[in-house]
Structure 1
Amino acid sequence: MARPKISLIGGGQIGGVLAQLCALRELGDVVMFDIVENMPQGKTLDIAEASPVDGFDVSVTGTNDYKDIAGSDVVIVTAGLPRKPGMSRDDLIEVNSKIMTSVSEGIRDNAPDAFVIIISNPLDAMVTLCQKITGFPSERVCGQAGVLDSSRFAAFIAWELGVSVKDVTAITLGGHGDTMVPLVRYASVAGIPVMELLEQKYGDAAKAQEVMTAMVERTKAAGGEVVKLLGNGSAFYSPASSAVAMAESFLKDQKRVLPTCALLDGQYGVDNFYVGVHCVIGAGGIEKILELKLDETEQALMDNSVAAVKELVGSMNL
């Protein structure tokens, strides 16, 4: 039985970590594409030469030709300009939409049966563009953002409460940007509402709310925090790990419930726009969208985030 094939479009920082993680987990044979001559070949050769040490037994190769992604089961796209300090994700739309157009044509023409995961920013717009150009069914084109945003939120909660990150559940919805919606009401530690634990810690409801508000705001700005600290480039390990979780759920039909940028069909009052929501990812791709019951305040925040997505997508004049 042939191993699954995973193609990575973009050989930058995220692409390199993706290749290594896919190999370490032996999810399938890996092909890294990039337009820079010899770079993906060199990066994948370096990873492949570690296989005897790390003990993985899959093929890891690089290419400058889209034809080499033929037969891919999964395609993960990271191609695009990364953010620099002071830039928002939305600032990247003009240059990255041109790159995504070319990438999408390459996927459409060479890997027509692939499950496509987009990481490139601005995320919601880039996923929309990819699906329009490829013409793939919406269940086979999605974006990675919510897994990462929720992971960041969960990490901040765990660090604040001094508990294991494994026991924290945190949820974010909406667009991947400053208007994202971390849902405080659904945040918990081993089933215990986080707000209860914060109130126990501080003995004061107002202080607990202040601490939570700070974590919510840090979650919204988390990508920019990394960009500022790095000074040149943006986050790469955490986005790659998050995309691999999605790819693994598809390849192994795990049916994990993961926050994913998916095309909505009436959920949350949104129709025909890509927005971050909870999805079941299995062998059929985005197999189901799970809609949470939001209160009035949460729905207003969601509406605001969706409005930002619509404005961004509208600027591309698709």
Structure 2
Amino acid sequence: MITILGAGKVGMATAVMLMMRGYDDLLLIARTPGKPQGEALDLAHAAAELGVDIRISGSNSYEDMRGSDIVLVTAGIGRKPGMTREQLLEANANTMADLAEKIKAYAKDAIVVITTNPVDAMAYVMYKKTGFPRERVIGFSGILDSARMAYYISQKLGVSFNSVNAIVLGMHGQKMFPVPRLSSVGGVPLEHLMSKEEIEEVVSETVNAGAKITELRGYSSNYGPAAGLVLTVEAIKRDSKRIYPYSLYLQGEYGYNDVVAEVPAVIGKSGIERIIELPLTEDEKRKFDEAVQAVKKLVETLPPQLRE
């Protein structure tokens, strides 16, 4: 069973996409009475129309997630126009700490995937508070960041974004580090296809993509995160050994310890199986370090009870 914590815009976009794939039964949990039950019933009717034979239910009780093998955390306060992801920090950290206790109590064997912002810091809180192996606490971020970069590259070059391999590291925030030198189109390094000015535009568009969506429509991205969650669930359910960027707790990788950073990793049925360490130049290491230090600063501003 796949449990989604939170029945807001991200949670429901994820539920719709997962229903259409039919990987497993779905459970929606949210605090508002009737909200998850009503959403689940409507979604179940849609599944019946489409011939997707899975069970979809809603609940206000966290106990109902017993037996879940995947828990997707979408609960928390979302960004509004003019806000950064980092401004959501303490309120959402309290939510993560509360949910971590419930997941630990009722879904102790689950793989936990967090989308709540700022996701790197939230993944750190979830890891510390559940006490789960780091392989089973995954911050969703990099799939979306790299896809956004691939989209902007494809638009400038007039090619399919399926031909683009875009690399983004560090964090899901203003200090994220798109890496043009390691990005390519059809196997050709990006620097051979685009001018320095065009690359700088792509980097800026990638970093500011979420803010632009929020400014244009008044609330933050939901379809993009949902699509990335679906790809993550698929990789786990099919044990596909795909390599995606995630926000993960580092234990020596890239020279860091006790911090969450956005890095590429192999994902399969047991969660994260291996972190991939990319060869970075000195300048790239500096930019990666700036992102990591930004995450550390966020975590350090939290009260001790939320980060220990």
TM-score category of the 2 structures, normalised to the smaller one: over 0.9
Name the CA distance, whole Å, in 2 between partners of 1:266 and 1:255: 22
Name the CA distance, whole Å, in 1 between partners of 2:190 and 2:128: 40
Aligned-pair identity in percent equals 41
Matches within 5 A, 1:1-318: 5-198=1-194, 208-231=195-218, 233-316=219-302, 317=304, 318=307
- Runs (4+) of structure 1 exceeding 6 A deviation are none
- How big is the shift at 1:77? 0.2
TM-score (normalised: structure 2): 0.97
Name the CA distance, whole Å, in 1 between partners of 2:66 and 2:14: 19
Deviations 1:38-61 (CA, angstroms, capped at 9, x unpaired):
111111111110113322111111
Q: Where does structure 1 lack aligned partners over 5 or more consecutive residues?
A: 199-207
Determine helix, strand or coil for the equivalent of 1:139: helix
CA RMSD of aligned residues (A): 0.9
Name the CA distance, whole Å, in 2 between partners of 1:313 and 1:252: 34
The residue identity in structure 2 corresponding to 1:160 is K
Match for residue 202 of structure 1? none
Deviations 1:224-277 (CA, angstroms, capped at 9, x unpaired):
11110111x210000011011112111211010000111111111111211110
Q: Is the 8 A contact 1:101 1:133 kept in 2?
A: yes
Name the CA distance, whole Å, in 2 between partners of 1:104 and 1:36: 19
Deviation larger for 28-37 or 99-108: 99-108
- How big is the shift at 1:194? 2.0
Name the CA distance, whole Å, in 1 between partners of 2:9 and 2:301: 28
Deviations 1:129-167 (CA, angstroms, capped at 9, x unpaired):
111111111110010000000000000001111101111
Deviations 1:157-185 (CA, angstroms, capped at 9, x unpaired):
01111101111110100011000010101
Q: Where does structure 2 lack aligned partners over 5 or more consecutive residues?
A: none
Aligned length: 304
Name the CA distance, whole Å, in 1 between partners of 2:97 and 2:268: 27
Q: Is the 8 A contact 1:19 1:60 kept in 2?
A: no
Determine helix, strand or coil for the equivalent of 1:263: strand
Determine helix, strand or coil for the equivalent of 2:193: helix
- How big is the shift at 1:191? 0.5
